[in-house]
Chains A and B, each alone.
Chain A
Amino acid sequence: MDDGNAYDGLVEADPDARWAFGTGFHDTLAGVDDALPPSVDRAQLATYCLMLGDDALIMAQRLTQWTTCAPELEEEVALANIALDLLGQAGPLLARAALADPTTVPSLPPGSPVPPQDALAFFRDPRQFRNVRLTEIENGDFAASTVRLLVFSTWRLALLQRLVGSCDAVLSAVAAKAVKEVAYHRDYAARWFVTLAQGTQESRRRMASGLEAVWPYVQELFVAHRVELDLAVAGAGVDPAKLRADFDQVIATVCAAAELHPPPTASAAATPGGRDGVHSAAFAELVTEMQSVARAHPCGRW
């Protein structure tokens, strides 16, 4: 747009471009080269994409469970928006996994129109999911969900900011878009964290116990899986251990504003963890609910 002409805003080519219906949508991956980088093992790339995609998918599913239950209508919409952002990140990541290694995609009845990313989301068994366990724990109350979202988005934002430099053009493009989304998610969670910690005695108590409940899942975020290390060396992925300093700095800033202290971090995370397909007891139930409709209609067209 020519900044010198105020009329330009009125004469865009699209005659439907009025406020009531947003227009000008664009595809993040349009024009992005989807060739697989030669330096990267295909099966490892697929596993890595599943890890990042499953983190987003399972977090989206937990956030979606707030729909109809949130304390205010506006918060409900906000949480659903965040869930949709994450679902939008999961889609191309799972599709990338399927492209890199088609053997990861569960087989469906012949003629099924279900695309590979949906097959991965809705037809894998719980053990095949690679998400960190932080994403799958029960929502708890709004305070606990806020703490979990703060931890998740702080960690994921630090990861995505580095992933923008990936030698895999698709991972880089997905990360570049997601950085803006997750920055908002982090801001949303941090504001509620501080507001509730500094609110009433009851809201502060809940925020402190939310912190206690979520904190045991923090250490796992920074334990590098073999695949993450190899991808980092190949220039396609990020070593999660490198994210710790950024994460600690942000959390310290938010906690200082809230005048709350995170509990001491356990020296070692329980291994094997979510990256190896080992999940908590609540996870199978979550996956069953998430997949129930798709599994009932394996030839469904959505």
Chain B
Amino acid sequence: MSQTQESWPLYEVFVRARRGLNHVHVGSIHAADDEMALRHARDVFTRRNEGVSIWAVRSDLIAASSPGEKDAFFAPSGDKVYRHPTFYQIPDTVPHM
């Protein structure tokens, strides 16, 4: 079993609950290929009516920021509250803002 676990690559799974929402990362699964990854994702992560769309992507294909670069990447935005769009009126017809 451990041998096959090693030979099946890891996939990250993103599920969209409904049209209009984003795909959200829900977890990861192992699969032999892309087609199997979609099916495993369906079986593991949409059992409770959670989704209408699935993305599965090989984990090793994701470029991720490094924890070592955290300060240089994210600290500079920590004191710039004026970048929030809170200084103008939102039309009544735009919900959930």
> CB within 8 Å of B: which residues of A?
1, 6-12, 17-25, 71-74, 77-78, 81, 188, 191, 195
Contact = CB atoms under 8 A, between A and B. Distances in A.
A81 B19 contact: no
Interface residues of B, number: 32
Contacts of B46: 22
Given A71-B4, A74-B40, A24 B49 contact: yes
Given A11-B95, A12-B18, A21 B39 contact: no
Q: Of residues A1, A17, A73, which shows the largest number of chain B Cβ atoms within 10 Å of its Cβ? A: A73
Contacts, number: 70
Contacts of A1: 19
Contacts of A17: 17-18
A19 B20 contact: no
A74 B43 contact: yes
Nearest to A19: B17
Contact of B44 (A6, A22, A74): A74
Contact of A9 (B8, B21, B47): B21
Nearest to A82: B43
Contacts of B5: 72
A9 B95 contact: no
Contacts of B48: 21-22
B20 A7 contact: yes
25 contacts: A1-B19, A7-B96, A10-B21, A17-B18, A19-B16, A19-B50, A20-B50, A21-B48, A22-B17, A22-B49, A22-B51, A23-B49, A25-B49, A71-B4, A72-B4, A72-B5, A72-B8, A74-B40, A77-B43, A77-B44, A77-B47, A78-B39, A191-B35, A191-B36, A195-B32
